[in-house]
Amino acid sequence: MTTPNPPGLSRPAQELFDIVVGRSARQAALFVLDLLDSGRPMDGLVTDVLAPVQEEVGAQWQRSVLTAADEHAATAAIDHALATLAVAGRPPIPADRGTMAVVCAEGDWHTLPARMAAELWRWDGWDVTYLGGSLPPADLGRWLASARPDVLAVTCSVPLFIPGVLSLGETAAQEGVACVVGGRGLGTDSRRAAALGLRWAGSAAGLIGALDGPEPSVDRGELSDRRSETQDIESDIAEVVDAAVGALTAHYPAISSYTPRQLFHTRQDYAFIVQFLSAAVLSDDPLLFTEFLRWQQAILTSRGLPASVLPMSIDALHDVFPGGYQRAKAMLGAAPGSALGMDR
Buried b (16+ CB within 10 A) or exposed e, 234-268: eebbeebbebbbebbeeebeebeeeeeeeeeebee
The verdict on 112 and 143 lying in the same domain is: yes
Q: Residue 97 is which amino acid?
A: R
The verdict on 214 and 229 lying in the same domain is: no
| CATH at residue 51 | 1.10.1240.10
Nearest to 107 by CA among 242, 288, 279: 279
The verdict on 308 and 237 lying in the same domain is: yes
The conformation of residue 215, written as its DSSP 8-state character, comes to: P
The verdict on 202 and 253 lying in the same domain is: no
The verdict on 290 and 233 lying in the same domain is: yes
The domain in which residue 129 lies consists of 98-218
The verdict on 80 and 102 lying in the same domain is: no
Q: Residue 227 is which amino acid?
A: R
The verdict on 74 and 115 lying in the same domain is: no
Q: What are phi and psi of 147, to 5 degrees?
A: -80, -35
Which of 186, 218, 250 is the endpoint of a domain?
218
How far apart, in whole angstroms, are the C-alpha atoms of residue 119 and residue 204? Answer: 10
Kindly give the residue spans of alpha helices, DSSP state H, lying in the chain.
11-21, 25-37, 42-45, 51-62, 68-88, 111-123, 137-147, 162-174, 191-195, 207-212, 220-235, 237-251, 260-282, 286-302, 309-320, 326-334
Domain membership of residue 273 (yes or no) is yes
The verdict on 208 and 256 lying in the same domain is: no
User: In the prediction, which pLDDT does 79 show?
Assistant: 95
How far apart, in whole angstroms, are the C-alpha atoms of residue 214 and residue 15? Answer: 42
The verdict on 105 and 212 lying in the same domain is: yes
Rg of the chain's alpha carbons, rounded to an integer? 22
Which of 169, 187, 218 is the endpoint of a domain?
218
Counted domains in the chain = 3
Domain membership of residue 146 (yes or no) is yes
Task: Note whether 167 and 228 are within 8 A (CB).
Answer: no
The verdict on 39 and 149 lying in the same domain is: no
How far apart, in whole angstroms, are the C-alpha atoms of residue 305 and residue 11? Answer: 36
How far apart, in whole angstroms, are the C-alpha atoms of residue 275 and residue 269? Answer: 10
Which of 198, 218, 238 is the endpoint of a domain?
218
| CATH at residue 128 | 3.40.50.280
Q: How far is CA 148 from CA 26, 199, 343, in A?
A: 37, 19, 53
pTM: 0.89
The verdict on 123 and 210 lying in the same domain is: yes
| CATH at residue 238 | 1.10.490.20
Domain membership of residue 93 (yes or no) is no
The verdict on 79 and 117 lying in the same domain is: no
Instruction: Per-residue pLDDT tens, the chain, 344 aa: give them.
Output: 555 566 679 999 999 999 999 878 999 999 999 999 999 988 899 999 999 999 999 889 878 889 999 999 999 999 999 999 998 877 766 768 899 999 999 999 999 999 999 999 998 899 999 999 999 999 999 999 999 999 999 999 999 999 999 999 999 999 999 999 999 999 999 999 999 999 999 988 899 999 998 889 999 999 999 999 999 999 999 999 999 999 988 878 888 888 999 889 889 989 999 999 999 999 999 999 999 999 888 888 877 878 888 888 898 999 999 989 999 999 998 876 544 544 54
Domain membership of residue 176 (yes or no) is yes
